[in-house]
Structure 1
Amino acid sequence: MELDLVDTDARLRHLAQVIGSSTAPPVRYEAYPIRNPEDPKQGFLILAVPRSPHGPHAVTTPPVKASEKALRYPRRTGSRTDWLTETDVATAYHRRFTEAADRRQRLVDVEREALAGLPPSNMPKLVVTMTPEVPGDMPINRESYERHRRDIPQGFLFERVRIGSRRLIATSDERTMNYQHCELHRDGSGAWINGIPAQTAMFEGTESHYADVNVVVDELQNMLKLLAAHARDRAGVSGTMLVKAAVCAAPHWHPHGPPRPNLNPVLPFRIDQTDQYGTRHPLLSTQSCAYADAEAAAFVDDLTDGSPAGASDRPHR
């Protein structure tokens, strides 16, 4: 749309008000003012509208009576706008709810498949899983594989990248204590299982593993960035991601984890705070558990940029 860009902020506020009041549920969009280099006061405003998981979206139509406000459901077909019938609307709402259930099951499936690929371990793990509300599509061929194989390990602990079923699998050396296992799916979903850098100490006469809370948070932020960047930059995902983060004392404590391995007994695991010398371990809780998780929904751009803003959250358990 061509317009006068003298007061861009005011125009954007007005546009947001109009779209918010005339669509239901409100349509999400990104506005990009493009100024004319020869006349900065003039230019174009580009509205980018990603595919929405919340369709169908209704628009208001002029009321028949002053007290009425009618909603109609448009559907673009080529250069023509069609209007959904009552049956079309009912079908679209049914699809919205079934796809929401499918996405949650997809999150569980991606997490379960990654856990099944772990080598036997009794060490604490941080598990982060994501799936997009609107699936993307990452091509997997020889050219893209070679590019991803060179790109993925940069800045992280991965040493090997291989192809799995509709996914890329990146792993570190299995002999390392902080083993890394990451699966990046074609639809933009992903799971990263990170061996938490843990130390051993005595707590009330019991030997335990512990990790500093800041270390765990830093690891979590790196995992969120990589998985979201994969979804956005490789699979072309836009909009929101369903995210789950879980901490477990060992993989077999995870509800979808592998069987308990025939290894040395697992030690209790704690997340504590330490001083700058790593010698003080104030307790963050009076209770401990072998497994805890949390779920949220966040925009993929926020996650990639390192500032996730959860649209909805489910607390830790």
Structure 2
Amino acid sequence: MPSVRNRRLEQLLGGPIDESLTYGQVTGLIPATAEGPDLDIKRDTYGGRDRDRKALCGDVGGLANANGGVLILGMDEDSQGRAAKADGVDISDAERLRLHQSVVANIHPTPTFDIIPVENPDRPGTGFLIISVARTATAPHAYIQNNSLLYPKRIGTQTVWLTEALVAEAYRARFAGLADRITEAARIEQDFTTRLDNRQSWLVATLVPDLPGAFRIDTATLKAFDDDIAGRPILGLDIPVARFRRAGVRHRRLMGYGESDTHGRYLDLACELHENGSASIASCFDPRQPRPGHDGPPPPSLINDEILVATVAAALRFLAVHARDRAAAGGLATVRATIFPVGPDRPARLVHSRLGGVDNLGTYPVWQPPVADTVADIDELATDGRDLLAATYHLATGLVQEFGRPEALQLTADGNVRRRYWDRQAQPDVMRYAEQHDIDVIDD
């Protein structure tokens, strides 16, 4: 996926800012295109001296602290700051790696960026290096110099270094934005849960991108979505969790579900995927129906710890794929998970199922909905592997701690697998997943 989604630049270049860019598209900027707040043109690449490093990090960090944009290395400019000549630079893997490492090592937090080589067909090994920098919600990004933090920002066609007052203002904006996204996740979740059958117990997960994307819902979109999900299960560590059967639409969102009742309430699996990349998904844990020989209200819902972990992993990946691939949202996202409904008349217990029985894990039942939230990279959540499992661990741990359990023992904090805490039925799927995705298996 492109790091930068910028309509003005895409129109100038005649296509998305990604590996599909051609030499002809970039030279098409000559001679009329001028630098701007989102476009910086450099004749040469950056050297290896301290001042060169500062210039590179200042230019990249300056775009990240503004609205994102593109640096083009290998193109000369005239006295008016307009693209004038294609000089070319070294576009080798070694050069790209050097520049990439310099940014990662010297800017904190690391911005979302990519370095794209565009080769001159007449001079192999040379051409343009396109450094695309995404607009970010984690600004301000600081350049670290001699244990000091310097904050660049691109204003107009220049990179300036922010004063202390402007840095403080940028941090206030970051924290206010995070609070807004946490609030938005809770709002989306609350609206979504009104359409869940509240006689059952659900794991509900909601994702809100830091930087919203967009897609259009029409007949073709709905058909493609139906083709994508109909009859297919969602998987957590290769364990099938639940299966979608139908697709539909609500206002400015796609919806998918397994079954519904005559009132339109979801019964087993459901999702609502918003046009801006936000989304919620819910999977039923426990139907909470009275058990044989039980009189009176339904007994406490039994939340199986393995199913909880697998469902969180499946939910995170499903939501992130929607945000990234359908809505073209990127960067970080705020993610929230809860068990719903839980209340004085609907308690829940954490258990572990074994052959022939069920063991209580928590020290007490819960009487209010457990809630956990975290911030994670959308690309990492959308890709099976250690990063996805690390985020799963943090969310699942936040939930089980409400039951008095210190952590979700099926995983480790850095995204590896603990074998002994998966039962024999689940182990083959989990071990296969670990092998396929280079995940360590811990036997302690």
Deviates more, 1:92-101 or 1:15-24: 15-24
Question: 2:93 and 2:151 mapped to 1: Cα distance?
Answer: 34
Change (3 A) 1:129 1:70: closer
Deviates more, 1:188-197 or 1:305-314: 305-314
**Residue 123 of structure 2 is aligned to residue 3 of structure 1:** no
Displacement after TM superposition at 1:28 (Å): 3.4
Question: 1:74 and 1:136 mapped to 2: Cα distance?
Answer: 23
1:257 aligns with none
Question: Aligned-pair RMSD on alpha carbons?
Answer: 4.0
Letter in 2 for 1:73: P
SS in 1 for 2:357: coil
Displacement after TM superposition at 1:139 (Å): 1.7
Question: 1:47 and 1:312 mapped to 2: Cα distance?
Answer: 34
Aligned residue among 46, 52, 56 for 2:136 = 52
1:194 aligns with 283
Question: 1:52 and 1:311 mapped to 2: Cα distance?
Answer: 23
Displacement after TM superposition at 1:114 (Å): 0.4
Displacement after TM superposition at 1:220 (Å): 2.2
Give the alignment of 1:1-317 within 5 angstroms.
2-3=89-90, 5=92, 7=94, 12=97, 14-20=98-104, 22-31=106-115, 47-59=131-143, 71=150, 73-75=152-154, 77=156, 80-81=157-158, 83=160, 86=163, 92-119=170-197, 121-156=198-233, 157-175=243-261, 179-197=268-286, 208-248=300-340, 251=341, 253=343, 266=346, 268-275=347-354, 278-290=355-367, 291-307=369-385, 308=388, 309-310=390-391, 315-316=398-399, 317=402
Displacement after TM superposition at 1:47 (Å): 4.1
- Determine which structure has greater relative contact order: mean sequence separation of CA pairs < 8 Å that are 6+ residues apart, divided by chain length: 1
1:64 aligns with none
Letter in 2 for 1:142: T
Q: TM-score if structure 2 supplies the norm length?
A: 0.54
Relative to its length, the structure with more helix (as a share) is 2
Change (3 A) 1:85 1:298: closer
Deviates more, 1:303-312 or 1:237-246: 303-312
Letter in 2 for 1:219: T
How many pairs were matched up? 289
Change (3 A) 1:270 1:306: farther
Deviates more, 1:26-35 or 1:292-301: 26-35
SS in 1 for 2:359: coil
Displacement after TM superposition at 1:302 (Å): 1.5
Displacement after TM superposition at 1:69 (Å): 6.2
Which stretches in structure 2 are left out of the alignment for 5+ residues? 1-72, 74-88, 234-242, 403-444
Question: 2:217 and 2:342 mapped to 1: Cα distance?
Answer: 32
